[in-house]
Structure 1
Amino acid sequence: MSDSTVNVNAALNTTAGTAHVGTTVGTADAAATDAAPLLSVRHLRKSYGSHEVLKDISFDVMPGEVVVLVGPSGSGKSTLIRCLNGLEDIQDGEISFNGRPVSRNSEKAWRKLRTRIGMVFQSYDLFPNLSVAKNIELGPTAVQKRAKAEVDEQMDRLLADVQLSQYKDSYPRELSGGQKQRIAIVRALAMNPELMLFDEVTASLDPEMVREVLELMLRLAKRRMTMIVVTHEMEFARRVADTVMFLEDGVILERQPGGDFFSSPQTDRAKRFLESMSPVAAE
C-alpha cells in the first residue's frame, strides 16, 4: 500500500462518522427536502477545435448533495467542472443555477454567478504578494462590496476552524502545500458560496499533506455544503459521495448513489477502473 493511501485512510478513519456515507439516503433526502435542483446541466457539449471533449452531458445537483466525478485521466472531468464556473466556453447546451439559465458564453453573467460558486484548484492560486488575510479579504470586499469588519470576523472564524489562525499575516511562500490549499478553501468559503467546486485539490500535495485537506472537505460534507468534487482518492470518494458520476471519453458512463457505485458498478469499464485504483496487494 502506498504512503498516499495510508494517509488518506488515516484521515478517513480519524473523521469516521463525521461525513455522510455515500448511499441512496443522501440524494433522496436532498431531493425530498428541496424539489428543485441547485444546478442543472442539459446537453452540454465542449470542443477544442474539432476534438469534442464533452458529449451531451446532462445531470442535476440538489442542495446539500455531494457529487463526485471519477474516471481516467483525459475523460473530461476537469474540463466539465471548469465549464460549471464559466472558465471554459461551451459550444452547446444549457447550465441553470437555482432555476435560472446562465447566458452561455456571457462573461458578465459568469462574473456575477462566480460570487455564488466557489472553486478550488489543485494549484492553490493564492496571490503571492498578498498576506493570507489579504488573499481572503479581497473577494468579499472588492467583488461583493461587503464591510471589511464583517469579512474579518468571518475570516477569523474560518481560520480558527482550519487551525490556521496564527498564519493570518503570513505570505503563501511561508506555508506548506497543505496549508496553502486549506487557505484556498477558506478564501472560497469567505464568499459564502452556495456551491463549491473542487478540482483534484490534493493532486499536487505531498502524501502527508493530503490528510489535512481531506479532513476539511469531510467536515464540509457533514455540514451539507453542496459540492462537486473531482478526485482520484477513491476511499475519500466512497465516504463523501452522495452521487458518483463516472466519466470516460467525455461521456457519463454511470451515475449512481455513491455506495452503489463502489459496491456494484454497472459497467465493465467502471469495474476495471475501480480495480486499477485499488492498493497494490502484497506478494
Structure 2
Amino acid sequence: MADSPVTTGTPTTPDTPATTGAGKAKTDETPVLLSVRHLSKSYGDHEVLHDVSFDVPEGGVVVLLGPSGSGKSTLIRCLNGLETIQGGDIIFDGSPVDTSSEKEWRRLRNSIGMVFQSYDLFPNLTVAENIRLAPLKVQKRPKADVERQMDALLKDVRLTEYRNAYPRELSGGQKQRIAIVRALAMNPRLMLFDEVTASLDPEMVREVLELMLRLAGRHMTMIVVTHELEFARRVADTVMFLDDGTILERGSAHDFFTDPRTDRARGFLESMAPIADD
C-alpha cells in the first residue's frame, strides 16, 4: 500500500462497491464485513449522529474526515459498543448486533480491535505483559501460541528489544505501536483507529502511519479517524466526510481530494492546507 498510488473510483453509497486504494475493485462478490444502517446517537436532546448508513467491505479501508465536533470519534466508538445508540442497526459479518447487550459487545470486541490516541497501556505491566494479557485471559489461547505471535508482531514493528520494558520507558510513537500490536494480538477482523497520532510529537507520527499503511497493504479491514490528510489520501479506499453528525460526502480518496462535491468539504480541505509562502 505504501508504494502503490491511490486508484480512482466512483463515489460510493451504502449500496455501491468501493474501489480500494491499492486499485483492487470491490465487486458485488466482495463480502461486506460491517454494515451500519440509519444509526443515530444523542446526548440528551442533542443529536450528534443522524441517519448514518454505510458499508465496509472485507479488506477495505474507510477514512472518516471532518471538522472537530462532526461526530467522527463518536461514530467509531459506537461501532465498538463504547457509546450507546438511540436508533439504527449495526450488522457485523452478516449478523445483527444486539447493541443493548454488553455481553454481546464483549464477544464482538474479540473481532473488533480499537486503538485510541491515549495509548491506554497498563503502566504497571511490561510490553509483553500488556500484549499477551487479553489473548491469554479473554481468548484463553495457549501461551506458546500467544508468545509466538507476539514475537512476530514485535519484530514487525521493530520493537523486539522493548519486550520487557515498561510503558514509561517508551516514546509516544513506541507506545502507540505497542497499542496497535496489543490490538492485533487478538486477531481482529476489523480495526478502528481514533486519531492515533493526535497526541504524538511530529517526528513520531511517521512511524505509526507507516505501520498503518502496512496493515492496509495486508488487507486489514480498517476504519480510521484522522486529520493527517496525505495519509488519508494514500490509505483510504473510501473517504467519508462528516459534518454536523451526517455523512455529507462519500467517495474514493482521489475523488474527494481532487474534486469535492460540496462547499463544506472544499472549505475543510482549504482550511487544512499548508500556509502558502508570500
TM-score by length of 1: 0.92
Identity %: 72
* Kept in 2: contact 1:69–1:244 (CA 8 A): yes
Partner of 2:13: none
Structure 1 235/22 Cα, relative in aligned 2: closer, same or farther at 3 Å? Answer: farther
Task: Give SS of 2:26's match.
Answer: helix
Q: Relative to 1, partners in 2 of residues 1:104 and 1:22: Cα closer, same or farther, differing over 3 Å?
A: farther
Partner of 1:163: 158
Aligned partner of 1:10 in structure 2 is none
Give the match for residue 90 of structure 2.
95
Give the superposition deviation at 1:31.
Answer: 2.9
Q: Residue 20 of structure 2 aligns to which amino acid in structure 1?
A: G
Separation of aligned partners in 1, 2:213 and 2:124:
30
* Deviation string, structure 1 residues 205-232 (Cα, Å, up to 9, x no partner): 0000001001100101111110000000
Deviation at 1:29, TM superposition (A): 3.8
Q: Which amino acid aligns with 1:256?
A: G
Q: Which amino acid aligns with 1:26?
A: T
Q: How does 1:109-128 map to 2 (within 5 A)?
A: 109-128=104-123
Tell whether the 8 Å contact from 1:46 to 1:52 is kept in structure 2 after alignment. Answer: yes
The answer for the alignment partner of 2:12 in structure 1 is: none
Q: Which amino acid in the other structure matches residue 140 of structure 1? A: P
Mapped pair 1:225 → 2:210: no
Matched ranges for 1:173-188 at <5 A: 173-188=168-183
Match of 1:271 among 242, 260, 266: 266
What's the CA shift for 1:53?
0.2
Unaligned runs of 5+ in 1: 1-14
CA 212–136 in structure 1, closer or farther in 2 if over 3 Å, else same: same
Instruction: Please tell me the residue identity of whatever aligns with 2:207.
Output: E
**Greater helix percent: which structure?**
1
Structure 1: how far apart are the matches of 2:158 and 2:187? 19
Judge conservation of contact 1:22–1:238 (CA < 8 Å) in 2.
no
| Distance (whole Å) between structure 2 residues aligned to residue 171 and residue 26 of structure 1 | 38
Alignment correspondent of 1:67: 62
Is the CA contact (8 Å cut-off) linking 1:129 and 1:171 kept in structure 2? yes
Q: 2:201 aligns with which of 206, 228, 234?
A: 206
Partner amino acid, structure 1, of 2:125: L
1:259 aligned onto 2:244: no
Q: Count how many residue pairs are aligned between Structure 1 and Structure 2.
A: 268
Matching residue of 1:9: none
CA deviations over 1:95-151 (Å, ceiling 9, x no partner): 000010000221000000000011000000000010000000011111111011100
Aligned CA distance change for structure 1 residues 108 and 167 (closer, same or farther; 3 Å): same
Among 196, 203, 210, which residue is 2:191 paired with? 196
- 1:20 Cα deviation from its structure 2 partner: 5.8
Give the structure 2 partner of residue 8 of structure 1. Answer: none
Indicate how the Cα distance of structure 1 residues 16 and 96 shifts in structure 2: closer, same or farther if over 3 A, else same.
closer
CA distance in 1, matches of 2:135, 2:157: 19
Query: Hey, what's the Cα distance between the residues in 1 that align with 2:141 and 2:171?
Result: 30
User: Which residues of 2 match residues 20-31 of structure 1 at below 5 A?
Assistant: 21=6, 23-24=8-9, 25-26=19-20, 29=24, 31=26
Task: Report the alpha carbon displacement of residue 33 of structure 1 after superposing the two structures with TM.
Answer: 7.2
Say whether the 8 Å CA contact 1:120–1:184 is kept in structure 2: yes
Task: Indicate the SS of the match to 2:63.
Answer: strand
Amino acid at match of 2:49: L
